[in-house]
Structure 1
Amino acid sequence: MRAFFKFGLIGLFLFFSACASTTKTSATPEELAAFEKMVDNQQFEMNATWAQPMATQSLNSIANAGLLPPGSTANRIDITGTGGYLRMWDGKVKADLPFFGERRMGGTYSSDKVGIKFDGEPTDLTFEPAKKGSGYTVKFNISEGAESYQVVANIYPNQSARLMVASSQRTNIWYQGNLSEYTPE
């Protein structure tokens, strides 16, 4: 009984220490300096690698039919290689992100408007320090034609980013990706 108890405690200790070590993300001093420069200049680019749409019945049907990329599920889709991005520079933002979900109202279906696309000057732009850990939360609103978007981006010094897009005409969608400095051409 003692041996069982001893091995149980050791197992729990190893389990909790392994879980604790995977939750920390750290950045080198060089990454921190580059990150602070990006935030100060408000000049960065997020290249999306994962899309996380709201899992609806229709999206589940598409996933069950095997129409999503390999390794993807209805609520986490690998979009590596699609070229999806969000760029910010000189008080402007531009995005071209693939969309997976449902159109809720209005709008048109055309071959050039299938994804989330906007280009212009955002309104209500704010940069706030993250509530947990390091990083910043960037919030803004922008419109493209009849559709308006509320965007919340969490950017981190380890060059990762998480983006939430709420549309006036579509279901919400989240993106994860890599963060880098953006230099306009």
Structure 2
Amino acid sequence: MKKYFSFTGRFVGVLVILGSLLAACGSANRNMADDPEYRKMVEEVSDLEFEIENDWANPTQYNRVNLLGNPNRIKFENDSVEVYLPFFGERYAGGGYDPDDGAIQFKGVPKNLELRENPGKGTVNIFFEGNRSTENLDFLITIFPNGVARTSVTSTQRETIIYDGKLINR
């Protein structure tokens, strides 16, 4: 019987240690509203005078594509946005013989522009809509305090695609 209690005691001890480690590794949902780095990022983004350069494209059904050497950008200036993002994935409709037609492009004043701060997650989300010819585009850009930007583009003619990049200070 002594061995049974010894084994049980060790087992309980290991469980307690593992439980403590798991609890300690859990993410803290702290509010970053007063964090200086977060506030600086919010001010930069709120002015809508910045640029994003993407390093990766993440098509829905395919592997990540490194965008090194592929021109791409999202540029907010005054009250307009200029978007040029190479597209990798399935296109359901539209398109033509224009070589630039393969990219996701938008230039103009965005519709339904919305900026949403999320201090609980330490991010700022930018939502807007745009269109080009017969294609309607929905953009969701999430910006983190370290300057990392994630852009999701949903189209009426293509698969959704996500881009990973960084905020370019101007």
TM category (shorter chain) comes to 0.7 to 0.9
CA contact (8 A) 2:58 2:65 kept: yes
Q: 1:106 to 1:81 in 2, by over 3 A?
A: closer
Equivalence for 2:167: 179
Deviations 1:118-167 (A, max 9, x none): 22221111112238423322111112233221111122222122211111
TM-score, length basis structure 1: 0.72
* Secondary structure in 2 matching 1:42: coil
Gaps of 5+ in 1: 60-73
The counterpart of 1:90, out of the listed 78, 85, 106, is 78
* Secondary structure in 2 matching 1:153: strand
Residue-pair matches, total:
162
Over aligned residue pairs, what C-alpha RMSD do you find?
2.8
Gaps of 5+ in 2: 1-6
CA distance in 2, matches of 1:12, 1:84: 46
CA distance in 1, matches of 2:148, 2:67: 15
CA distance in 1, matches of 2:23, 2:73: 36
The counterpart of 1:150, out of the listed 131, 138, 152, is 138
CA contact (8 A) 1:107 1:147 kept: no
Is residue 52 of structure 2 the alignment partner of residue 46 of structure 1? yes
Identity fraction in percent = 28
Task: Please identify runs of 4+ aligned residues in structure 1 that moved more than 4 A.
Answer: none
Choose 1 or 2 for highest CA Rg: 2
CA contact (8 A) 1:136 1:154 kept: yes
CA distance in 2, matches of 1:12, 1:137: 35
